[in-house]
Amino acid sequence: MAVVNVTLKLSTVSETITVTADSPLLNTSNPEVGVRFDTKRLTDLPTNPPGGINSGGGFRDAFAFALSAPGVSQLNSGNSTFASGTNFSVNGSRPRGNNFIIDGQDSNDPSVTGRQQVINNTDIIQEFHLITNQFAPEYGRAAGSVVNVITKSGTNDFHGSAFWYYSSNVMNARTNLDKAATNKDGSPKFPSTPSITSTNLAAP
């Protein structure tokens, strides 16, 4: 009868770490109610508030993303000067009850409330987080909503983006109010036609 001596060796230890940028669809860590917009959604969603570029926060106002969330409604033109920027009400609260935060820092207008810092370049935003209910104690201050904007940080490589926005009266349809408005000489009055360019550069 043959004797076989079997030797067992220790295997190497391997560890795999998977990093994902997308937030989970279901929040199981706290009871807060709200929405998160990542860079993909920020690219697809409209930024101009209803009423055109001359209303609310102006052209490409990043805080107008809040109008795409459930329970958020923009005020009518008669109530549009309660706060600076794009005026909106969350779950029926006052427009002055919104708390704006950029990269963890308070960014509220100390005079009429609303956002203090203007963000018209949406390419610098990494995440737009709107909390509409069940705020954590770390926020406080306001009872309407918490708007938390996180900007992009540096990268390992140089890269950037650029765009050109052009609006022409030849390509735009006029509303009935535009058709009724005339200049002093009786000629038709056209709305303004903005032409705006923007660039964004990220570096190590």
pLDDT attached to residue 149 = 92
pLDDT attached to residue 17 = 80
Most confident listed range (76-85, 114-123, 180-189): 114-123
pLDDT attached to residue 55 = 53
Compute the mean pLDDT over every residue in the chain, rounded to the nearest whole number. 76
* Of 132 and 113, the one with more pLDDT: 132
Judged by average pLDDT, the poorest of 38-42, 45-49, 119-123 is 45-49
Average pLDDT of 197-203? 73
Under the banding of pLDDT at 50, 70 and 90, the label for residue 118 is confident
Is 90 within 8 Å of 144 (Cβ atoms)?
yes
pLDDT attached to residue 108 = 85
pLDDT above 60 (res 128): yes
Q: What is the 3-state secondary structure (H, E, C) of the chain?
A: CCCCCCCCCCCCCCCCCCCCCCCCCCCCCCCCEEEEECHHHHHHCCCCCCCCCCCCCCCCCHHHHHHHCCCEEECCHHHCCCCECCCEEECCCCHHHEEEEECCEECECCCCCEECCCCCCHHHEEEEEEEEECCCCCCCCCCCEEEEEEECCCCCCCEEEEEEEECCCCCCCCCHHHHHCECCCCCECCCCCCEEEEEEEECC
Average pLDDT of 51-75? 73
pLDDT attached to residue 141 = 78
